Chains A and B, each alone.
Chain A
Amino acid sequence: MSALFTEFNGVAFKNPVICASGTFNFGEEFKRFFPLSRLGGISLKGLTLEKREGNDSPRIAEVYGGIINSVGLQNPGLEGFLKDYLPSLAQEDTVLIANIAGNTVEEYCEMAQRLSQTDISIIELNISCPNVKKGGLAFGVEPKGIESIVFAVKKHCKKPLMVKLTPNVAAISDNALAAEAGGADSISLINTIRAMAIDAKTRRPVLACITGGLSGRAVKPIALRMVYECYKAVKIPIIGLGGIFNAEDAVEFMLAGATAVQIGTANMINPMAAVEVIDGLERFCYDNNIKNIKEIVGGLII
């Protein structure tokens, strides 16, 4: 058996590397660079019940070691996804994770219910998008809000439910505990950190929306700390993300307690990034005589 094979929430992954929502669209654009079957899984572009056009451009600013985006969940809507994207995606030999965002609790529930009847393996509850006015972050900041939305969605969700947490909170471990109490099967973190960029020459914000979400190398130390704190707090599997660019970064997240990792911003810079992380993890296992990558999860030596 492959050293990278892993399993959580009853779902088998050929490796613990998942492409992160919002940086991979629905995978089509990456097929020119590698077969999607190389991936452990794909967390698909965030879906809303109705089609969304997203925010005005510019939607991206580069900052030191990172990017700030304000895309605003542009997506074809649940119907469009089911009709135009899922049939061909379902042919791919990789785990499909649907990332869902609603304006209301009812919308989240409806989407979870409908996606439960499809080839999607896991549903990722996006209560952490900083770029939409309604929904998104509104449900994901206070522990009480998290517990109640997770509890509500869980009743309509026949697939494992992964809850994606925002770092823009007082105590991340309280929020992880709230997700667990609500019935989450796993948690993924971190979503982007609210941030802004200003052009000193023009005296204007770079983004049309003024603020957006920071990701990339710059956020990795914060993400690692949060994964570590959540690992100490909860029993459910943690999927770590935030500035993972290579296998060494992935190993660090797993040592902090992540069962699997997601690759986000790196996909935008190097389309082969996720595959390079997978190859690097394989080498890491071989070089260190590790039979299965699970051995290192939470293996941080204090």
Chain B
Amino acid sequence: MISTKATVVSNAHLSCGIYKLVLSIPDMPEISCGQFAMVSCGNADGILLKRPISIHDFDNKTVTLLYEAAGKGTKALSQMQESVDLDIILPLGQGFEIKNYKRIALVGGGLGVFPLFSVIRQHADVEYSAYLGARDSSHLVCADSFIGRCARVRLATDDGSAGEKTYVTSLFKEDLARYGFDAIFACGPKPMLKALKAITKDTDIPVFVSMEERMGCGFGACLTCTCKTSSGNKRVCADGPVFDINEVIL
């Protein structure tokens, strides 16, 4: 983990307020899939805190972050032009562990689709089945990049404008018995994670979920981003964001 300056290579609007930020980092640390970065949004408009953003993709010189310009901080971030320097801390948190899994199901909803891409980029030798969902086709901004890298990609939207008009967890449920997954990695809104927990409760397949909470420091010191677990409160930023689904209380 390092606290450093990153230079904006590009910061492009993809669709529906979702941006793709590519940062070049001179002294790139080792990253593993499912980790995140704390990114400064400048100090305009009284902003103090860095924003936690999941790592979508990375190589030995750059990291790519997809984020939605939703609040004051991320809107300010969306205005950052090429070659601007941003303070950043990365990589943070406990990501997804591949262990010796051969067949992994990826279940993502909304913005939760973004970090799942880092899994397939880092470990290409695994057979992936991706179940990706969003409100509509224009919110499914990076689904295309999963196609060709996964054995199967199934899409769900609320309005049927892309893939099937259903919940992503329903698509996953159809395939669960069929493909013999070794593990399930998921990220998305709490109702999706709850549905996933209900669907998988009678199997012994390990399920790992990436959690989200309002954060302060991002590196474990301030104890503001806690989530409830079977063994008491844990820090989403440092003990997570990835937890065993049986450990977190959703």
Residues of A at under 8 Å CB distance from B? 22-25, 29-30, 32-33, 45, 53-54, 57-67, 69, 71, 74, 206, 216-218, 265, 267-272
Contacts and interface: CB of A to CB of B under 8 A. Distances in A.
B217 A267 contact: yes
A71 B222 contact: yes
20 contacts: A25-B222, A25-B223, A29-B221, A33-B3, A57-B213, A57-B224, A57-B225, A58-B224, A62-B49, A65-B46, A67-B216, A69-B224, A74-B223, A206-B214, A218-B46, A268-B49, A269-B49, A269-B50, A270-B3, A271-B89
Secondary structure call for the A interface = loop
B216 A69 contact: yes
B87 A270 contact: yes
B148 interface: no
Contact of A24 (B47, B73, B221): B221
A63 B221 contact: no
A62 B74 CA distance: 13
Contacts of A32: 1, 219
B238 interface: yes
Given A59-B214, A60-B222, A65-B48, 15 more contacts: A24-B221, A29-B221, A29-B238, A45-B223, A53-B233, A57-B213, A57-B224, A58-B214, A62-B73, A65-B46, A74-B223, A74-B226, A268-B216, A271-B3, A271-B221
Contacts of A54: 223, 226, 233
B86 to A, nearest CB: 13
Contacts of A67: 48-49, 216
Given A29-B219, A57-B213, A63-B46, A71 B224 contact: yes
Contacts of B3: 33, 270-272
A253 B138 CA distance: 52
A219 B230 CA distance: 38
B173 to A, nearest CB: 29
B174 interface: no
Give the most central of A59, A61, A267: most B CB within 10 Å.
A59
Given A54-B233, A58-B214, A62-B73, A268 B221 contact: yes
Pairs A-B, 5 closest by C-beta atoms:
A64-B46, A60-B224, A268-B217, A29-B221, A58-B214
B46 A271 contact: no
A261 B244 CA distance: 42
B161 to A, nearest CB: 25
B48 A271 contact: no
Contacts of A66: 46, 48
A64 B226 contact: no
Contacts of B89: 271
Contacts of B119: none
A277 to B, nearest CB: 16
Contacts of B226: 54, 57, 59, 74
B220 interface: yes
B108 to A, nearest CB: 22
B53 interface: no
A22 B223 CA distance: 8
Contacts of A268: 49, 216-217, 221-222
Interface in B210-249: 213-217, 219-227, 232-233, 238
Nearest to A60: B224
B125 interface: no
A61 B214 contact: yes
B202 interface: no
